[in-house]
């Protein structure tokens, strides 16, 4: 373990309350010093039962996403869970809850707003209380003269004894553009690129503040021990980075002042002391050692009072990957397996999988690139799990080349994979592939297919600088996908046979769908275009959209994103 003293650059006054001030303090530690005003909260309504016995062990069930923003339910639930875990309940780990829900096929009940078999749920989870929730607004709302970010969520706390409601509340939090005054040093960009996975940064910030407010209003049983100190926030500087030996992992915890603070990197270093640099602001650093290795590790923070009462915070929003990478060979000519044991891997120069060879990637494996790409003339079988995904990303600030499936006779299979910061995330030329559960974000192009056949299902393609999906002379089957917020356009096709149903294709740049052909119509009925009005669907060329779905497909926005 290597502990390093932290440079003191915070202002010399106590940290004000509120999530925005917490974020400002973290940025001050990691990047510089500045201050921000608080956003103004909205009105809330609360219902608390007159008499009840509080449960002791509680599960936070998956939240229902009632918005058209993919992943909003998942992200808000994770934020809420971190704040709820500081209360005096024994809470079930989210991964355990999610696995049991998937085993029993209960997720679709939440997605469809159906009645939950709460007695079976309580028994399966071994709890005596449970929390349900729904996200009703998540994102930016536009008025004539301004824009503002709104998050509305409803939370219910129920007993397993008879299913009765102990507490329930619906609340909205709003932040108008311009409420937060950033310094001109680029710290706003640092916040986006350092801490959060998606580009919904404003909504996530507002959700954090709303979650903190809701958990403060919840009934909280008296602790048999001394009351544990409160943790407000815990973040680090390793989001979407591969930390190499001799680089520094920095952490910041914000909570009650005058306590003892510690943090852990699972399987690497436990209970490292943090230093209270200002009242309620605790900082720590760790220098990565040559033998350290961790993939998708979730950091843990602790705040301990003089009476030895402890609060624990697990950072489930952004995992950490660190260690010296295993360099992939330039030529893979025989069957090869990439596993989490030897992960992270490094693409340093073009990696070619030759004809007749299969590259198999196991769940939990992380692959980084210095700029070059992976070219597959043979077969790529990369099958992750929804809670143990495979990831491809760029090690540098510039984009890497991405994955190319090239003139292959063998069909490739890609499942539960994240591909980010590539010039073309997935380039398919004269090849076949079955694609399920992909998340393609922040790439120049999402998927480009030529003379190929693709099956794409339950995938998310968003925030591309150019086009999310482009097909030429190909057969493309689309089912239950999100293609959204791509800068130039959503999907375009030329000389292609396209089958598409139950997809959400909306909020893209100049167009959602473009048919470059002048001869044949694309038959794209039963999809959601962000509107039920045909004239507002942003379609170019010959496209038959009828019948239009009147809302986002049920169950499409939740759980796996």
Q: How confident is the model at residue 232 (pLDDT cuts 50, 70, 90)?
A: confident
For 184, the token pair is: 């001109």
For 503, the token pair is: 């997809």
Distance, in Å, from the CA atom of 398 to the CA atom of 465, rounded to the nearest integer, reads 13
Distance, in Å, from the CA atom of 271 to the CA atom of 292, rounded to the nearest integer, reads 16
Nearest Cα neighbor of 414 from 366, 382, 373 is: 382
Residue 491 pLDDT greater than 70, yes or no:
yes
71-117 per-position pLDDT tens digit = 888 889 988 998 888 788 888 888 899 989 989 989 888 888 889 99
Q: How confident is the model at residue 151 (pLDDT cuts 50, 70, 90)?
A: confident
Selection from 46-60, 67-81, 193-207, 354-368 with the highest mean pLDDT: 354-368
- Please tell me the predicted confidence (pLDDT) of residue 238: 83
Residue 196 pLDDT greater than 50, yes or no:
no
- Please tell me the predicted confidence (pLDDT) of residue 334: 96
Higher pLDDT, 248 or 315: 248
- Please tell me the predicted confidence (pLDDT) of residue 194: 41
Higher pLDDT, 526 or 148: 526
Q: How many CB atoms lie within 10 A of CB 323?
A: 21
Residue 413 pLDDT greater than 90, yes or no:
yes
- Region 428-443: mean pLDDT is 94
- Please tell me the predicted confidence (pLDDT) of residue 139: 77
Higher pLDDT, 272 or 87: 272
Query: Could you give the angle at which helices 19-30 and 201-217 cross, rounded to 10 degrees?
Result: 130
Q: How confident is the model at residue 498 (pLDDT cuts 50, 70, 90)?
A: very high
Distance, in Å, from the CA atom of 128 to the CA atom of 126, rounded to the nearest integer, reads 7
Asked whether the beta carbons of 268 and 288 are under 8 A apart, the reply is no
Residue 167 pLDDT greater than 90, yes or no:
yes
Degrees to nearest 5, angle at CA 448 with 442 and 454: 115
Minimum mean pLDDT range among 32-36, 301-305, 346-350, 428-432:
32-36
Residue 417 pLDDT greater than 90, yes or no:
yes
Three-state SS string over 491-518 comes to EEEECCEEEEECCEEECCCCEEEEECCC
- Region 220-232: mean pLDDT is 74
115-139 per-position pLDDT tens digit = 999 999 999 999 999 999 999 988 7
Nearest Cα neighbor of 85 from 225, 247, 212, 258 is: 212
- Please tell me the predicted confidence (pLDDT) of residue 36: 33
For 5, the token pair is: 């003293």
Higher pLDDT, 246 or 50: 246
Nearest Cα neighbor of 340 from 320, 364, 324 is: 364
Residue 234 pLDDT greater than 70, yes or no:
yes
Structure pTM?
Answer: 0.77
- Please tell me the predicted confidence (pLDDT) of residue 516: 93
Minimum mean pLDDT range among 235-244, 472-481, 486-495:
235-244
Q: How confident is the model at residue 188 (pLDDT cuts 50, 70, 90)?
A: very low
Minimum mean pLDDT range among 159-163, 195-199, 256-260, 520-524:
195-199
Nearest Cα neighbor of 442 from 376, 496, 487 is: 487
Please state, rounded to an integer, the average pLDDT across all residues of the chain. 82
CB burial of 207-239 (b: ≥16 within 10 Å; e: otherwise) equals: bbbbbbbbbeebeeeeeeeeebbbbbbbbbbbb
Q: How confident is the model at residue 173 (pLDDT cuts 50, 70, 90)?
A: confident
310-366 per-position pLDDT tens digit = 888 888 667 889 999 999 999 999 999 999 989 999 999 999 999 999 999 999 999
Is omega for the bond preceding 424 within 30 degrees of 0, making it cis? Answer: no
- Please tell me the predicted confidence (pLDDT) of residue 559: 42
- Please tell me the predicted confidence (pLDDT) of residue 282: 92
Higher pLDDT, 286 or 29: 286
Distance, in Å, from the CA atom of 63 to the CA atom of 404, rounded to the nearest integer, reads 36
Residue 143 pLDDT greater than 60, yes or no:
no
- Please tell me the predicted confidence (pLDDT) of residue 160: 94
Q: What proportion of the chain, given as a percentage, has pLDDT over 70? A: 82
Residue 449 pLDDT greater than 60, yes or no:
yes
Distance, in Å, from the CA atom of 142 to the CA atom of 176, rounded to the nearest integer, reads 10
Query: 175-180 — which CB contacts under 8 Å span 24+ positions?
Result: 175/39, 175/148, 175/149, 175/202, 175/205, 175/206, 176/39, 176/146, 176/147, 176/148, 176/149, 177/146, 177/147, 177/148, 177/149, 178/146, 179/37, 179/39, 179/40, 180/20, 180/36, 180/37, 180/39
282-318 per-position pLDDT tens digit = 999 999 999 999 888 889 999 999 988 888 888 866 7
């Amino acid at each position: 373990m290597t502990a390093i003293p932290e440079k003191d650059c915070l202002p010399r006054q106590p940290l004000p309350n509120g999530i925005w001030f917490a974020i400002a303090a973290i940025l001050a530690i990691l990047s510089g010093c500045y201050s921000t005003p608080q956003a103004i909260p909205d009105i809330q309504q609360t219902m608390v039962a007159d008499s009840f016995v509080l449960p002791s062990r509680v599960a936070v069930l998956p939240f229902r996403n009632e918005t058209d923003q993919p992943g909003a339910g998942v992200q808000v639930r994770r934020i809420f869970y971190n704040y709820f875990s500081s209360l005096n309940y024994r809470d079930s780990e989210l991964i355990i809850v999610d696995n049991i829900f998937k085993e029993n096929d209960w997720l679709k009940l939440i997605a469809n707003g159906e009645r939950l078999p709460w007695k079976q749920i309580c028994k399966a989870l071994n709890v005596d209380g449970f929390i349900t929730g729904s996200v009703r607004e998540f994102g930016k709302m536009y008025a004539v003269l301004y824009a503002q970010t709104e998050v509305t969520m409803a939370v219910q706390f129920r007993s397993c004894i008879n299913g009765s409601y102990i507490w329930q509340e619906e609340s909205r939090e709003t932040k108008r553009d311009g409420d937060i005054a950033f310094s001109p040093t680029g710290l706003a960009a640092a916040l986006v690129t350092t801490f959060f996975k998606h580009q919904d940064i404003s909504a996530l910030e507002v959700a954090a503040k709303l979650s903190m407010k809701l958990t403060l209003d919840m009934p909280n049983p008296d602790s048999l021990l001394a009351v544990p100190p409160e943790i407000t926030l815990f973040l680090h500087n390793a989001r979407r980075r591969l930390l190499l030996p001799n680089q520094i992992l920095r952490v910041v915890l914000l909570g009650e002042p005058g306590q003892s603070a510690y943090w852990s990197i699972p399987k690497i270093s436990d209970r490292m002391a943090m230093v209270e640099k200002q009242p309620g602001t605790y900082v720590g650093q760790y220098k990565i050692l040559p033998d350290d290795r961790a993939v998708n590790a979730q950091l843990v923070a602790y705040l301990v009072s003089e009476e030895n009462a402890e609060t624990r915070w697990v950072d489930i929003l952004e995992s950490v990957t660190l260690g010296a990478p295993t360099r992939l060979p330039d030529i893979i000519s025989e069957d090869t397996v990439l596993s989490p044991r030897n992960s992270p891997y490094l693409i340093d120069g073009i990696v070619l999988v030759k004809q007749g060879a299969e590259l198999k990637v196991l769940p939990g494996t992380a692959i980084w690139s210095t700029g070059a790409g992976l070219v597959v003339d043979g077969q790529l079988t990369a099958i992750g799990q929804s809670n143990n995904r495979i990831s491809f990303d760029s090690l540098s600030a510039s984009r890497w080349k991405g994955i190319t499936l090239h003139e292959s006779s063998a069909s490739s299979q890609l499942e539960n994979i994240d591909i980010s910061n590539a010039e073309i995330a997935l380039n398919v030329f004269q090849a076949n592939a079955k694609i399920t559960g992909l998340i393609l974000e922040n790439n120049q192009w999402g998927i480009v297919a030529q003379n190929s056949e693709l099956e794409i299902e339950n995938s998310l393609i968003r925030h591309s600088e150019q086009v999310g999906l482009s097909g030429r002379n190909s057969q493309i089957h689309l089912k239950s996908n999100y293609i959204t917020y791509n800068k130039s356009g959503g999907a375009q096709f030329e000389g292609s046979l396209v089958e598409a149903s139950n997809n959400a294709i909306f909020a893209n740049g100049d167009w959602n769908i473009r048919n470059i052909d002048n001869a044949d119509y694309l038959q794209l009925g039963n999809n959601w275009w962000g509107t039920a009005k045909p004239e507002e669907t942003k379609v170019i060329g010959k496209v038959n959209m009828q019948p239009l779905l009147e809302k986002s497909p049920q169950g499409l926005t939740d759980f796996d994103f």
